Structures are given as C-alpha cells and as structure tokens.
Amino acid sequence: MLVRIPGILGIDAVAHFRRRLEGADWVDGRVTAGYESAKVKRNTQLPEDSAVALELGDAILTALEGSKLFISAALPSRVFPPLFNRYGPGDGFGAHVDNAIRQGLEPETRIRTDLSCTLFLSAPEEYDGGELAIDDTYGTHHVKLAAGDMVLYPSTSLHAVTPVTRGFRYASFFWLQSMVRDDGQRTLLFDLDRSIQLLSADQPNHGSVVPLTGVYHNLIRRWADL
C-alpha cells in the first residue's frame, strides 16, 4: 500500500525547517546504511544526535499525531526518530530494501520496520531528478511530492532515489512499526476505515455505521500485535 499524506507540515513550518537544515552540519549519508545499501548510497545526512535533527524530528512526531490519515494508514505502534537527508547534484540512492530492524541511539528506539516514510522538504521545482522510485506488483511508482507532503510505503519494497541533476532535495525519512505487521491486513483495515468515514459523513445516521465500526475494531483485535 502506497499512501500520500498531504500537508503534514504547512508552508511556515517548511520554511522554518529549511532555515534550520541549510545552516546545519551534514555528514556522509552512509552512516545509517546497511552493508549492501552503502554501496549504492550517495547523499548527506544530519547526525542522529544533532540538536537540529532532534528538534525537527520532535516537531514531525507531533504533526503526525494530528494526522487522521496517517493514523488510519499506518496504525503506528512505534515510530523511529525522524532522520534528515540532502541530495545535491550527482547524488542518488540505488535500488535497495530497508533493513528489517532499525536501532537508534537509545535501546528503546529499536523497531521492526513495517513502513517507510519520506517527508519532502523541497518543492518539486527546486530540483531535477531526486524522485523516490518504489517498486510493487504494478510496476515502479515515481514519487516527487510538494514540500510538506509525505509518502508512506511498505519497508519490504525495493526502492531508490533517482540521481539529482540540479538543485538540492531535502527530506526527512524514518520508519515505523505498525500494530498490524501484515501489509495486506493493514490495507483492508485502511480501506474499511475510509469507507466508514465516508459513509458516516454522507449519512451520519445510517444504520450500518455502528456495525461496520464493530467489524473494524474486531479485525484489529484479531490482527494487532502490541
């Protein structure tokens, strides 16, 4: 399941993020890459323990808590502290699959990576290339979103960042462990939840809303791994 989540950050928040990021100290992006990924990764990142990364990461986590679409699609159990990367001319990230387990600076940050997230912090017209290319059974999806928008996709996906040829691409990236680890089950729950919301909005007193909501929660009881 590939889900676009618009407006995680507003215009003013994106501008603040960019000011902080453009004045930060960057390091080789391979510091968080696995053995195979490091062979095809060319970018820079903020150190996990940098004051800027911690400040902006907390702001993203707060914003996610207010996104009903994110909660519905991800059913998050634990979210890895957001990281930040920058791609300039000549940078890119070849095809790879994210590590199954991510360990942060603290023991409690270790998670199983069910879903990967990329939050775009550069407007599409600011750079050429730099598309997030995600493979699934329907082919390769090329994702290049507005600044402040985020894409959520299964961490099992083969994906890449195409080479940047002009400008700079700033983004935040992170992973989460879902209460429902199976992507097929999460997709069914997401579709059911969205359908209930639409029905409730169109016909608030429809007799099917409560029974369908019960089905939704009973499926979560059956599938959730807390």
| Domains detected in the chain | 3-178 (2.60.120.620), 183-223 (4.10.860)
Query: Tell me, what's the pLDDT at 213?
Result: 97
Does 32 score more than 80 pLDDT? no
Query: Tell me, what's the pLDDT at 168?
Result: 98
List all residues 6 or more positions away from 17 whose beta carbon is below 8 Å from its beta carbon.
Answer: 9, 56, 59, 121, 170
Q: 98-105 long-range contacts, Cβ below 8 Å, gap at least 24?
A: 98/155, 98/175, 99/34, 99/37, 100/155, 102/175, 104/48, 104/80, 105/48, 105/49, 105/81
CA dihedral over 139, 189, 202, 208, signed as positive or negative = positive
Query: Tell me, what's the pLDDT at 26?
Result: 97
Quick one: angle between helices 51-65 and 11-22, nearest 10?
Answer: 160
Closest CA to 159 of 98, 209, 214: 98
Q: Say how far apart CA 163 and CA 168 lie, in whole Å.
A: 11
Q: What percent of the chain is predicted at pLDDT more than 70?
A: 100
Query: For all residues of the chain together, what is the average pLDDT?
Result: 95
Query: Tell me, what's the pLDDT at 107?
Result: 81
The mean pLDDT value for 144-158 works out to: 98
Query: Tell me, what's the pLDDT at 50?
Result: 95
